[in-house]
């Protein structure tokens, strides 16, 4: 990746990972609990690595390999668990103030992540964050090939806003999300507290073109 600090005033779009920087969605309803609930839908004879996984997205990937009917059932149930999970957690302490500063500086914030788009949107609305994070790029189907570390969700966000990789910055913590940023050619930092994620004064946004 390039130097995310090189030209901060050139950025007008921040892509913020939901899982990590915004909240820990499976802090209460554990990811391994969700994975175990999904495995029940697969029936007997699943591969050992699937039977042992603690990651619900691994279960979804296997379900897709079993055919569209199985994939649909598992993805639908995963979405229900995600909607439950996000009602049980709160945003990270620094998120609210950071989003307000970014909005005041004229920077568009898109929240992205592998959870279902309605789970992410529900959390933002529930925690009164939707005003400052109006855009969401998250899972809208059962196709795990479009989840990070694939860059699809980031490309989708860039296209929706008519932006470009050079004008964006990713804030993410997980290896998968950071790999997606690298694949999309977008600079990334791991915290909203990083100086690169701090906007220039509002009078300088957007920069002269």
Residues 113 and 161 in one domain: yes
In a domain, 1, yes or no: no
157 inside domain: yes
Q: Is 52 part of any domain? A: yes
CATH number at residue 108: 3.40.50.1000
Regarding whether 157 and 76 lie in a shared domain, the answer is no
2 falls within a domain: no
What's the DSSP call for residue 145?
A: G
**Domain of residue 103, residue span:** 8-24+91-204
Residues 66 and 106 in one domain: no
Report the predicted TM-score, pTM, of the whole model to 2 decimal places. Answer: 0.89
Q: Indicate the number of domains in the chain.
A: 2
The structure tokens 């620094």 sit at 94
Is the same domain home to 143 and 187? yes
Q: How many C-beta atoms surround the C-beta of residue 106 within 10 A?
A: 14
- Asked if residue 205 has pLDDT above 60, the reply is no
Q: Which residue has the higher pLDDT, 141 or 74?
A: 74
144-199 confidence digits (pLDDT tens) = 999 999 999 999 999 999 999 999 999 999 999 999 999 999 999 999 999 888 65
Structure confidence by residue, pLDDT tens digits, 2-14: 444 434 447 899 9
Q: Is there a cis peptide before residue 206, judged by omega within 30 degrees of 0?
A: yes
Same domain, 69 and 156: no
| Residue 67, domain member (yes or no) | yes
The domain boundary residue, chosen from 86, 104, 122: 86
Report the alpha-carbon distance of residue 15 to residue 188 in Å, rounded.
9
| Residue pLDDT, tens place only, 52-66 | 999 999 999 999 999
What pLDDT does 10 receive? 72
Looking at residue 5, its pLDDT comes to 41
The percentage of residues in the chain with a pLDDT greater than 70, rounded to a whole number, is: 90
Q: Are residues 72 and 174 in the same domain?
A: no
Tell me if 61 is assigned to some domain: yes
One domain, residues 73 and 142: no
Do 67 and 113 belong together in one domain?
no
pLDDT at 110 exceeding the cut of 90: yes
Same domain for 161 and 139? Answer: yes
Same-domain pairing of 138 and 181: yes
Cα distance between residue 87 and residue 29, in whole Å: 10
List all residues 6 or more positions away from 186 whose beta carbon is below 8 Å from its beta carbon: 1, 15, 154, 165, 168, 169, 170
The Cβ of residue 9 has, within 10 Å, a number of other Cβ atoms equal to 13
Q: Alpha helices, DSSP H only, in the chain?
A: 31-40, 48-52, 56-65, 68-86, 95-104, 117-126, 152-161, 175-184
**Tokens at 12, concatenated:** 């007008």
User: pLDDT category, 134, cuts 50, 70, 90?
Assistant: confident
Query: Is residue 98 located within the same domain as residue 180?
Result: yes
């Amino acid at each position: 990746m390039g130097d995310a600090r090189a030209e901060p005033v050139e950025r007008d779009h921040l892509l913020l990972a939901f899982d990590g920087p915004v909240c820990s969605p499976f802090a209460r309803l554990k990811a391994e609990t969700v994975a175990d609930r999904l495995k029940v839908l697969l029936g007997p004879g699943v591969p050992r690595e699937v039977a042992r996984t603690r990651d619900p997205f691994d279960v979804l990937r296997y379900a897709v390999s079993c055919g569209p009917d199985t994939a649909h059932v598992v993805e639908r149930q995963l979405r229900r668990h995600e909607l439950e999970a996000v009602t049980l957690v709160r945003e990270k302490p620094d998120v609210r103030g950071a989003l307000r500063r970014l909005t005041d500086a004229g920077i568009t914030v898109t929240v992205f992540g592998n959870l279902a788009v309605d789970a992410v949107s529900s959390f933002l609305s529930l925690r009164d964050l939707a005003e400052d994070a109006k855009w969401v790029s998250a899972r809208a189907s059962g196709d795990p090939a479009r989840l990070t570390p694939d860059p699809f969700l980031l490309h989708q966000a860039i296209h929706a806003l008519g932006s470009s990789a050079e004008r964006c910055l990713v804030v993410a913590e997980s290896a998968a999300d950071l790999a997606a940023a690298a694949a999309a050619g977008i600079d990334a930092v791991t915290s909203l507290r990083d100086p690169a994620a701090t906007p220039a004064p509002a009078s300088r946004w957007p920069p002269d073109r």
